[in-house]
Amino acid sequence: MAETPSAFFSAVVVTILAVLGGCSAPSEAARAFFVFGDSLVDNGNNNYLATTARADAPPYGIDSPSHRPSGRFSNGRNIPDIISEQLGAETTLPYLSPELRGEKLLVGANFASAGIGILNDTGIQFVNIIRINRQLQYFEEYQKKLSALIGASQAEMRVNQALVLITLGGNDFVNNYYLIPYSFRSRQFALPDYVRYLISEYYKILQRLYELGARRVIVTGTGPLGCVPAELALRSRNGQCDSELQRAAGLFNPQLVQILTALNRKIGSDVFVSANAFGMHMNYVANPQAFGFATSKIACCGQGPYNGIGLCTAASNLCPDRDTYAFWDAFHPTERACRIVVNHMMTGSSEYMNPMNLSTILSMDAAV
């Protein structure tokens, strides 16, 4: 999502290598990795679409291995990339990439698309983006391609054993309910009712993901939406996080945890794992110096107050040292901030990962 706080967290599907020190080349033993969601986890699908929600021009990607933009809303790697890296796995390709064929299918796929949300009317200003129901349809299509490659039974097993990451929800607030004063959804729903509606729709999405074979799903809540540079520029007079957007996150996240618990109880297994994105991000937002950041208010790339107005472009202000900034652009964290988040996912306590962290998942599954 180009101007999206889904840039800040909401929900994605990840699949990881079966062996922690695994090979970089896909193998029969390597676990697949699937990613669903918005700009926080999009690694280039929107490059293939006619939309303004794109990160395909400099200075995006300035600190990536190629130093070129790839479609990731980051100065370098994003959260799915770092998860793959931590596990020694090959990075998943965008589903729309023409390179995703043959043995590359064994690695998994990234279906995420910047600008989308739980609701179909979220991100309508971006026009041509891959809404979540379409991402799930692409997941079905992917499985047919995989079946043609390795056979139906092997394909089903590979999907069942994969790790999935899904990030949704932030855009449903920033690019829908609060997009403009008196938006359609804000006139239709009071905030608590809107959150309940979002959660009921998200339940259906997660249930469908399970029906399509996902059995290890990390679901991220939304981050501190009121603290991103875009919202500080629009809503804050003194640099404090916007209380209304923080309230929205505070209503959404606990109810998301509740439905994940309910789904696991219904299934009879811990399929869905809750990732407390709000807590993971809020740690460095509230105390940036403790994490080695000079600022958690000003974006590295942008213009206007807090560099939070408009898009990050070649004409924008650009900080010389991205590692000292928590935010890359108006909505998205820097690679270094993403690494802090992934570290919480890998080894965090139940405060951050419930009912278990990613290292525990990998150890349990390796023992089976």
The residues that are catalytic are 39, 329, 332
Burial of 368 (0-12, 13-18, 19+ CB in 10 A): exposed
E-state strands within the chain: 12-13, 33-37, 108-110, 163-167, 217-220, 272-275, 301-302, 317-318, 353-354
Q: How far apart are CA 76 and CA 155, in angstroms?
A: 32
- Cα diameter, the chain: 59
- What does DSSP assign to residue 303? B
CA nearest to 94, candidates 72, 116, 109, 73: 109
Neighbouring CB atoms inside 10 A of 151's CB total 11
CA nearest to 73, candidates 31, 126, 124, 119: 126
* Torsion over CA: 40, 80, 249, 303 (sign): negative
Q: How far apart are CA 367 and CA 76, in angstroms?
A: 34
